[in-house]
Amino acid sequence: MKLTVPVAEDGQIDPRFGKAVRMGVGSVTDEGELQDWQIHEVGWDVLHDQGEHGQHHARIVRFLKDNGIDRVIFAHMGQPMMHTINKMGLLLIEAPIMDAKDAVVQAAALEQQ
């Protein structure tokens, strides 16, 4: 399973999903082990205010598809972005500010409802 989460400089979840500077992408095995962890510098903090709002959502959708994401972890996300990700059929998981890698492992263990 592949999950993504916005990551702050200190390794915690960044509360700014749509304006994240970097996104972590983790693969978790069926046994619940973090198999792979990569940080992608996305620069959405700058790109958010460039161009139309729909272009920014398209940029995020492309990132999610290109990375084969199954679940999206966030601390805060606007309703339009939540709607867009829900339409993609991905599971959205709201989490408190905590270690991003720990959040990925915990979110992978959740049963999909």
Residue 55: CATH number of its domain: 3.30.420.130
Cα separation, 112 vs 51, in Å, equals: 35
| pLDDT tens per residue across span 36-80 | 999 999 988 766 666 666 687 889 999 999 999 999 999 999 999
Which residues constitute the domain of residue 29? 2-109
**The total number of residues written for the chain in this structure:** 113
Interatomic CA distance for residues 4 and 29, integer angstroms: 15
Number of domains in the chain: 1
Q: Decide: 38 and 24 in contact? Cβ < 8 Å.
A: yes
Q: Specify the pLDDT at position 26.
A: 98
DSSP string for 13-75 = BPS-STT-SEEEEEEE-TTS-EEEEEEEE--HHHHTTSS-HHHHHHHHHHHHHHTT-SEEEES
Tell me the pTM: 0.91
Q: With bands split at pLDDT 50, 70 and 90, how would you rate the model's confidence at 20?
A: very high
Write down the pLDDT at residue 45: 75
